[in-house]
């Protein structure tokens, strides 16, 4: 059961609005308010301070925004953020040692195409090297014989 | 140069943004570099960041700078967010509050905004002037509270967070939040009482 001492302590922290109190303590606190005049007095005093704090907060907020509000500042915020994340060199992040590193998120999409092209080039080159190394040696032919015109009957076959 | 109200966000960059998509979904897309998803996140949660920053920062410009810095930090660390462990708003509150606390740690005179006018000369009634003076004194007292107390007060009273939620934002126990709130309220109550006594004896 909640004692008045504990009740006062909680009111000193959370104020008069029981919705701010820890959820599991609210039913007991409500019962105490209903049954105890002292508890109601504690809540009454806490409520005065709540009102003052909330009014002071609102007054401060009004003076900071001077007629505007957070919604009016939103377009500036959106544009400011857009400009900063656009100019924040998204492809690299600077590591602790000052060495630029590429992060998974920032890696540009064309990296995939570059990888494919590189792999294809390596495969073609390997094929050429293997083809030349393991193909049977071409017979030595007389250069003059190669330059001679082919016999007519061979072309017509 | 972009005029106020115009957006710098590129059209057609990223997937179409679903207005019902939750913050975790938008953040996951932002982590893949989707700037339109991130813009939606800024649009939804920017006012919250601005509101909290304005409660704790010394002036409007600082509040806007803090909100912007918080959003940029979220963009850079979007892939670190784990929606199963924390709510997005808790994360945003934490970043904004920490930036405000860092700013307050820097040596600077504690002052109200330049245009803060605690007493409205047009308010004729003595009670109104008195109430304004008391409110102004309370605003000053809230400004001068230690950072932790100030943050706890903002989160619980202005933002309506429970003690447990405020504890999560501040990275302390619920009991610690209770103590912070109790100290803040005790200080403010003292000030209010002193104000009442002064007005009773006609000071």
Tell me the average pLDDT of chain B: 82
pLDDT in tens, B37-82: 999 999 999 999 999 999 999 899 999 999 999 999 999 999 988 8
Rounded alpha-carbon distances, angstroms, from residue B156 to A108, A155, B33, B174:
43, 98, 34, 12
pLDDT in tens, B112-140: 455 545 555 555 566 677 777 777 888 88
CA distance B180 to B151: 9
The pLDDT of residue A113 is above 70? no
Residue A60 is part of which domain span?
A: 4-65
Candidate from A110-124, A141-155, B8-22 with smallest mean pLDDT: A141-155
A52 inside domain: yes
CA distance A94 to chain B (A): 12
Say what the pLDDT of residue B134 is: 75
Instruction: Assess A107–B contact: CB distance below 8 Å, yes or no.
Output: no
Indicate the SS3 state at residue A91: coil
As beta bridge partners, residue A93 has A101
Instruction: Assess A60–B contact: CB distance below 8 Å, yes or no.
Output: yes
User: Do B113 and A59 lie within an 8 Å CB cutoff?
Assistant: no
Number of structural domains chain A divides into: 1
pLDDT in tens, B72-82: 999 999 998 88
For chain B, the domains span 15-111, 122-203
The pLDDT of residue A153 is above 70? no
Say what the pLDDT of residue A154 is: 39
More confident residue, A41 or B199: A41
The stretch A56-75 carries a mean pLDDT of: 85
Nearest to A52 by CA among B134, B82, B9, B45: B134
Say what the pLDDT of residue A131 is: 66
Contact (Cβ atoms closer than 8 angstroms) between residue B76 and residue B142: no
Write down the residue that tokens 């992040």 correspond to: A93
Tell me, rounded to whole angstroms, the distance of Cα A95 from its chain centroid.
17
Instruction: Assess A111–B contact: CB distance below 8 Å, yes or no.
Output: no
Say what the pLDDT of residue A124 is: 75
A29 inside domain: yes
Q: Return the number of CB contacts < 8 Å for A and B.
A: 163
Say what the pLDDT of residue A120 is: 72
User: Do B157 and A70 lie within an 8 Å CB cutoff?
Assistant: no
Say what the pLDDT of residue B76 is: 93
Candidate from A80-84, B113-117, B163-167 with smallest mean pLDDT: B113-117
The stretch A71-87 carries a mean pLDDT of: 92
CA distance B37 to B27: 7
- Among B residues 122-181, those touching chain A with beta carbons less than 8 Å apart: 134-136, 138-139, 142-143, 153-154, 156-158, 160, 162-164, 174, 177-179, 181
Contact (Cβ atoms closer than 8 angstroms) between residue A29 and residue A18: yes
Q: Give the chain B residue nearest A13 (alpha carbons).
A: B182
Task: State which CATH number among 2.40.50.140, 3.40.50.970, 2.60.120.510, 1.10.1740.10 fits the domain covering B15-111.
Answer: 1.10.1740.10
A114 inside domain: no
Candidate from B8-12, B55-59, B152-156, B158-162 with smallest mean pLDDT: B8-12
Q: What ipTM, to 2 d.p.?
A: 0.77
Q: Which residues of B touch A61 (CB under 8 A)?
A: 51, 54-55
Q: Is A106 exposed, middle or buried (0-12, 13-18, 19+ CB in 10 A)?
A: middle
The stretch B86-103 carries a mean pLDDT of: 94
pLDDT in tens, A10-60: 999 999 999 999 999 999 999 999 999 999 999 999 999 999 888 888 888
CA distance B41 to B26: 7
DSSP state of A18: G
Instruction: Assess B99–A contact: CB distance below 8 Å, yes or no.
Output: no
Looking at the domain covering B122-203, what would its CATH class be? mainly alpha
């Amino acid at each position: 059961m909640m004692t008045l001492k504990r009740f006062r302590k909680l009111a000193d922290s959370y104020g008069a609005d029981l919705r701010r109190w820890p959820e599991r303590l609210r039913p007991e606190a409500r019962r105490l308010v209903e049954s105890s005049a002292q508890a109601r007095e504690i809540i009454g005093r806490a409520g005065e301070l709540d009102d003052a704090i909330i009014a002071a907060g609102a007054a401060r907020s009004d003076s900071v925004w001077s007629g505007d509000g957070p919604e009016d500042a939103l377009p500036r915020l959106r544009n400011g953020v857009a400009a900063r994340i656009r100019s924040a060199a998204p492809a690299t992040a600077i590591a602790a040692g000052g060495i630029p590193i590429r992060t998974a998120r920032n890696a540009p999409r064309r990296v995939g195409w570059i990888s494919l092209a590189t792999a294809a080039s390596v495969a073609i080159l390997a094929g050429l090297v293997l083809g030349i190394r393991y193909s049977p040696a071409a017979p030595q032919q007389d250069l003059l014989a190669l330059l001679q015109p082919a016999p007519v009957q061979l072309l017509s076959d | 140069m972009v005029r106020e109200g115009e957006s710098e966000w590129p059209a057609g960059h990223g997937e179409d943004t679903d207005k019902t998509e939750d913050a975790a979904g938008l953040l996951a897309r932002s982590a893949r570099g989707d700037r339109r998803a991130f813009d939606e996140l800024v649009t939804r949660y920017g006012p919250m960041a601005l509101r909290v920053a304005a409660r704790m920062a010394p002036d409007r410009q600082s509040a806007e700078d803090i909100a912007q810095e918080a959003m940029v930090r979220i963009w850079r660390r979007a892939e670190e967010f784990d929606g199963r462990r924390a709510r997005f708003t808790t994360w945003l509150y934490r970043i904004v509050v920490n930036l405000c606390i860092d700013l307050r740690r820097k040596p600077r005179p504690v002052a109200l905004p330049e245009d803060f006018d605690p007493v409205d000369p047009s308010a004729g009634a003595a009670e109104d002037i008195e109430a304004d003076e008391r409110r102004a004194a309370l605003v000053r007292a809230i400004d001068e509270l230690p950072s932790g107390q100030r943050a706890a007060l903002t989160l619980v009273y202005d933002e309506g967070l429970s003690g447990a939620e405020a504890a999560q934002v501040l990275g302390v126990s619920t009991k610690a939040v209770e103590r912070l709130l109790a100290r803040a309220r005790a200080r403010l109550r003292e000030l209010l009482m002193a104000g009442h006594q002064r007005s009773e004896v006609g000071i």
